[in-house]
Each structure stands twice: as C-alpha cells, then as structure tokens.
C-alpha cells in the first residue's frame, strides 16, 4: 500500500541506557516485586522495571491449555535492534530505559500522543512447558503496533513515511506475580494486506536481547469489533481495506488459524475497549 509519510518534528531522543537506569533502581524495585506488583499502572516510565536476570514461574496456575502461542514474524518495524530503516540505521528503542512503561500512546518524552479509540490490553503469560500452566512472573513483554492510519514509529521507510526518532505505540512491561502486564494504548488501524494486529515479544530478563527472547508473535482482533471501529469517522479509511483474520497473510496461515492469538475484546467505540489474552510461552 502506498502511504504518504509525515516528517518527524522531533530530533531522535537522547538515549539513557537501560543498564544504567536499572542499576540505580533495581534493588528497590526487586523488593517491591516480592510483595507482588499489579500489572499496568500509570502512564510514563513504570516502576516495575527490574534488574532480574531470569524469569520465574509463580505459584499461580492459569485456566489456559498450556498451548504455546504460534511463532510469527516480527514484521519490518520491530525496532528491537534486529533490523535497519531505509537509510541503513539500526533501530533499537529497547536501549532506552523509558521504554519500560504502561501508557504507550505517546513518545517516551510525552510528546506526539496518538489519537484513536482508547484500548487497554492485559496479557497473561503462562509457561507452556508446565503441566500446571504456571503463570510466568518476571518476564518482559514488549508490544508495538501501528497508528489508526497504519504507520509505525521509529522508522524512516518508503511504505511507512518518516517517523524516525519517535517511540509512540511501543512499550515494555515486567509481568507481575500473576504473570500479567497491562498497557494503555489506542485501537490500531489496518493496512493492506494485513488484518488488525499487535506485535509482541517476550524476554526472559532485563537485557531485552535476542538471546533472551522466549517468543515472537502477534495478536488478532475479532472481525466484528474491527468493523464497528472502522465504521467510525476517525477510522473510516481502514474500512475499505477489508482484510479479515481468515484471509490475513499471518493469521490465515497459522496453525489453528488465530485460535491462540485472538484477543477477547469488550467495550464500544464511545467508551473504548478492553482486550485480554493468555499466551503460552516455552520457558
């Protein structure tokens, strides 16, 4: 799809390394984790960041089937240090300590808040290698998705426009004692040839490095909810694209289709939506 780019109006943000930030707050936050932190929290940098070096299974069990979520492509815009933009620059938002946050509607510095219908996403992570479906506390969950118009932050790319230096609609949360993380964001847009989706990666420790990645996948949205959202004036351009989960190039070819990737969504276009999913990860 041809997309008209909008130039980024901010210079790339100054990076504060995650290692430095975690070394300053790790001890205090680790103590807080022992008493169990709630998933989500207020906007901005979350206090749930930790210098924990490994994940652990909590004593809780899930009601899931312990089925591992299908492994999917990270797509062209992961911004996790694994690829470059059209200019050849390596993009890695995970190097910025501010990426640990629950409200991802804006850039890390609070600018460029993205318009759209509010969406609260709660993810429960379970160990698919555990016979009891043990919920995983202490794992890092990274999500990213496009704007309501179908663009991704962080990249300068032919089919995406120039959003280099921006970090909106990207964030990482540390799973709490119930294996949960919660993000505040907006309902994503849609672009050909993709159905509506959110990307997700799960890491076993705070390095957020490729060697500690436990899973890469995507979440799908119910087609009927997409239809309601894209029928609103703010999202109407997405309605003509029409890609459904069944004919999507990712969900339509996954084992079991999108059974283990489909979000449960409640709410409406006036008040916003809440989405939940339990994802199995081999840990």
pLDDT digits (tens, 9 = 90+) for 144-171: 999 999 999 999 999 999 999 999 999 9
* pLDDT > 90: percent of the chain: 66
Pairing label, strands 170-174, 140-144: antiparallel
CA-CA distance, 8 to 87, in Å (whole number)? 15
pLDDT at residue 254, rounded to an integer: 62
> What's the chain's average pLDDT?
82
Average pLDDT over residues 30-54: 34
Confidence of residue 133 (pLDDT cuts 50, 70, 90): confident
Write out pLDDT tens, residues 252-276: 876 556 789 999 999 999 999 999 9
Break the chain into its structural domains and give their ranges.
18-281
The percent of residues above 70 in pLDDT, for the chain, comes to 76
CA distance 240 to 260: 27
Q: What is the pLDDT of residue 66?
A: 77
What's the pLDDT score for residue 103?
A: 98
Instruction: Decide which of 61 and 216 is more confident.
Output: 216
Give the three-class secondary structure for 21: helix
| DSSP designation for 95 | G
Query: Model confidence at 115, in pLDDT bands (50, 70, 90)?
Result: very high
Pick the CATH number of 18-281 from 2.30.110.10, 1.25.40.80, 2.60.130.10, 3.40.50.300: 2.60.130.10
Measured over the CA atoms of residue 154, residue 159, residue 161 and residue 162, the dihedral's sign is positive
What does the alpha-carbon distance between residue 76 and residue 244 come to, in Å, rounded to a whole number?
Answer: 20
Provide the pLDDT for residue 105. 98
| pLDDT, average across residues 103-122 | 98
Q: Tokens in use for 241? A: 């694209």
Contact call for residues 245 and 262 (beta carbons, < 8 A): yes
User: Would the pLDDT of 50 be above 90?
Assistant: no
Q: Is the pLDDT of residue 44 over 70?
A: no
Please state the φ and ψ torsions of residue 24, each to the nearest 5 degrees.
-85, -30
């Amino acid at each position: 799809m041809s997309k008209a780019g909008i130039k980024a109006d901010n210079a790339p943000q100054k990076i504060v390394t995650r290692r430095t930030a975690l070394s300053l707050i790790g001890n205090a936050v680790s103590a807080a984790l022992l008493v169990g932190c709630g998933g989500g929290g207020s906007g901005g940098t979350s206090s749930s960041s930790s210098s924990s070096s490994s994940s652990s299974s909590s004593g809780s069990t899930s009601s899931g089937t312990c089925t591992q979520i299908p492994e999917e492509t990270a797509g062209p815009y992961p911004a996790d240090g694994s690829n470059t933009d059209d200019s050849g620059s390596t993009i890695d938002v995970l190097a910025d300590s501010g990426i640990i946050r629950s409200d991802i509607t804006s850039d890390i510095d609070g600018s460029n808040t993205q318009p759209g219908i509010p969406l609260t996403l709660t993810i429960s992570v379970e160990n698919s290698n555990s016979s009891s479906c043990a919920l995983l506390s202490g794992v890092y969950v990274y999500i990213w998705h496009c704007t309501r118009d179908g663009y991704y932050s962080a990249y300068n790319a032919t089919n995406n426009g120039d959003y280099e230096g921006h970090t909106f609609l990207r964030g990482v949360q540390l799973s709490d004692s119930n294996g949960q993380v919660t993000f505040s964001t907006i309902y994503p847009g849609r672009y050909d040839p993709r159905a509506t989706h959110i990307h997700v990666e799960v890491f076993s420790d705070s390095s957020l490095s490729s060697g500690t990645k436990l899973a890469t996948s995507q979440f799908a949205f119910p087609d009927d909810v997409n239809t309601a959202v894209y029928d609103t004036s703010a999202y109407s351009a997405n309605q003509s694209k029409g890609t459904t989960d069944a004919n999507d190039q990712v969900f339509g070819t996954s084992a079991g289709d999108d059974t283990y990737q489909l979000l449960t969504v409640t709410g409406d276009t006036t008040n916003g939506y809440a989405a939940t999913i339990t994802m199995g990860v081999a840990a």
